[in-house]
Copies of this chain bind each other. A is one copy, B any other.
Amino acid sequence: MAVAITQVVDIDPTLERLGALLGDRITTSAAVCERHGRDESYHEGAPPQAVVYPQSTEEVAEIVSICAAAKVPMIPYGTGTSLEGHVAALAGGVCIDMMQMNQIMRVNAEDLDVVVQPGVTRKELNNYLRDTGLFFPMDPGADASVGGMTATRASGTNAVRYGTMREAVIALTVVLADGRIIKTGRRARKSAAGYDLTRLFVGSEGTLGVITEITLRVYGIPEAISSAVCTFDTLAGAVDTVIMTIQMGVPVARIELLDELQIDAVNKYSDLSLTVAPTLFLEFHGSEASVAEQAQTVGEIAAGEGGKDFAWTTNTEERNKLWQARHDAAYANKAARPGAQLWATDVCVPISRLAECILETRRDIDESNLFAPIVGHVGDGNFHLSLVIDPRDADELARAEALNERLVARALAMEGTCTGEHGIGCGKLQFLHDELGDAVDVMRAVKKALDPYNLMNPGKIVSL
C-alpha cells in the first residue's frame, strides 16, 4: 500500500516564512509531528515536518501560498480520528491543524442552517445548538471535527434518515492549492448554478484544497424521540428486520446492528447488561403519534423475525447511555485487547444483498480465527468489522488483509462500495480502482487540474 513520494529536501526556508507569519503557532516538535501523522487506525503513521495552527481563512491562504511557492506538501488535520491513514504525511511537509478555527460563526435558526469553522466538533456544535431547539444529526463514532467529517464525506447512525455529509453541507469556503479563496455556493437550499463544487470538495480528503468554512443543514429537535432495543436468536433475523423496515418505508432515524461479540464488548466497556445476542438499536423521531406508530410497526416486523424483548423508551438519560455505548463500540473493542490496533472495514451494499453479505462475512470471520465484532449502520446497507489486531504479528495482519480483501470483493460483486463512510485515504487506492475502474482516471484529471504539483495531501484517493 506504500506510495512512493519524494520528501522535500530543504523545508527550512518555508518554515522560516511560516514562522514569521504565525509566531508561536508553528512547531517542529517531534512528539507533536508524530501525533499529527497518524490516525486511529492500524495504518502506519508518517509525521509531517511541522505543524501550523491557523486562525482564519486568510491565514490558511497565506500558509498555502507560502508552501505552494516552495512546493511543500500540505496536510489538513482535524481531530485525527480518521481510519484510512488520511493524515499520514507520506511526502513530509506541513500539517495544517485546523482546530484553532473553532468558531460557530452564524446560526440561522429560521433557515435551519449554521455556518461553522472546520475545527468545531460535532458535539461542540450540538451543545451550542441545544438552546435553539436545533440539532446536527451527523455522528461518526468519534467526536470528529466538522471539517474532517466534510473532507471524508462522513455519516454515522442517523444517515438512514438524514443522509450523510453529502446532503448536510450547503456550501463551503475553500483555500485552493495555490492559495486562492473560493466559496462553492450560497445559502439557498437548492441551486442549479454550474458544476456542484460543494459536492466535489465534500469527500475530497484534503487533496483538492483546505476547507475553512462550512454551511451546514441542521434540523429542529423532533417533538418526540424514542429509542428501542431488540435482541434476536440469529443474525439473519436481525438483518431481515432491518431490510423489511427500510423496504416498508418506516422513517427510522437510526437502526444499528451489533452482533453478539460487539454486545459483549459494549457491556464490558460501557457498564451495560444487554443480552449477549445479535441486537438492533433503534431510534424514532417525529410527533408523539408518529413515534408510537413507527415503534409499533418495527416491533411487529421484529416479532415476525424472532425478535425478543422489544423495549422502547423516551427517557433521555437511558437513550443517551445507549447511544454513547454504540458510539464507543470501536473503543470497546480496542479495550478488549490492550495494545492492539483497530482495523475498521467499511463496505456498503444494496439493502437487498445485506443479509447475504453479512452472513457470508460472519462465516469468513469465524474461519479466519480473528476477533472482529460486526457493527453497522445497516439501514444504509453499511456495516463494519471492527477488527482488533496486533500489527506486529505478521500472520495475523496477513489474515486480516485477506479477510478484508474478500469482504471488499464480496461487496463489489453485490454492486456495493469498498467504503460507505470512512473514505479512501492511502488504505484503499487499489479498492477504489477495483470499484470504479476508469472513473479513477477522471478523478486523477480533476486532481491534476486543481492541484497540478500534487501538494495537497499527496498519496490519498489517487496516486499521480
Binding site for B on A (CB under 8 A): 108, 110-113, 152-155, 159, 163-164, 166-167, 176, 180-197, 199-200, 202-204, 208, 219-220, 222, 243, 246-249, 286-287, 289-290, 293, 346, 348-352, 380-382, 411-412, 415-424, 428, 431-432, 435-443, 445-450, 461-462
Q: How far is the CB of A184 from chain B (nearest CB, A)?
A: 6
CB pair B350–A436 under 8 Å, yes or no, is no
The answer to whether residues A418 and B289 also contact, given A200-B199, A381-B188 and a CB cut-off of 8 A, is no
Q: How far is the CB of A203 from chain B (nearest CB, A)?
A: 6
CB pair A189–B351 under 8 Å, yes or no, is yes
CA distance A462 to B153 in the complex (A): 27
A-B CB proximity, top 8 nearest: A199-B199, A449-B449, A110-B352, A191-B417, A187-B415, A188-B348, A182-B439, A111-B350
CB pair B417–A186 under 8 Å, yes or no, is yes
| Copies held by the complex | 2
11 additional contacts (CB under 8 A) given A180-B441, A187-B415 = A155-B190, A184-B439, A189-B348, A190-B421, A192-B423, A194-B203, A195-B200, A195-B446, A196-B199, A286-B290, A445-B449
- The interface residues of chain B lying within 8 Å CB-to-CB of A180 are 438, 441
Question: Which among A111, A348, A442 has the greatest number of chain B C-beta atoms within 10 A?
Answer: A442
CB pair B190–A195 under 8 Å, yes or no, is no
CB pair B352–A153 under 8 Å, yes or no, is no
Q: How far is the CB of A182 from chain B (nearest CB, A)?
A: 4
CB pair A191–B446 under 8 Å, yes or no, is no
- The interface residues of chain B lying within 8 Å CB-to-CB of A436 are 182-185, 193-194, 197
